[in-house]
Structure 1
């Protein structure tokens, strides 16, 4: 079975098999391109990463400020440097509920 001009005629199955490999390669390339654009770590996720980074940096600033405050109080209570008498008195009185008769206590709530 030859065509005019001498070229052999391909069967339908032969054409499908011949097109299967290039089609599979194209599908794999399309998959990786889509994953690079809209995937979990793709180009569209960069905006989310930037937003999350800003939020994490703000949270880090708050935590570092709290850490600095606690470090300062810890330094005031360090026996090697000398305990701050006002802070020590404040802590003891607040934890033991000790008040002299001539003192007025203002509680912040």
Structure 2
């Protein structure tokens, strides 16, 4: 479930959700319980202008005593490719915004 990536001396973990319903609440909580911050990447927008996955993950993390910073970036709308450049932008922007930030990122 976890893959580690090196990006400019930052240790990053990647958690992929393969099954949305039933939502893997326990697994998400266990995977993210010791993290300082979380970037949720969605590929679609839902009601309220945030991504569906972001809404569910934020709900799971809300139950934790020590909650990480959580941001949402919506990528690939309309079939636009998600490139390394886009992911680099997301990682850099995450460090500059507050928890709860939601942003739709258009292609490169």
TM range (shorter): under 0.3
Q: Based on CA coordinates, which of the two structures has the bigger radius of gyration?
A: 1
Give the TM-score, by structure 1 length.
0.18
Larger fraction in strand: 2
Give the TM-score, by structure 2 length.
0.18
Larger fraction in helix: 1
Which has the higher relative contact order, 1 or 2, with Cα contacts under 8 A spaced 6 or more apart? 2
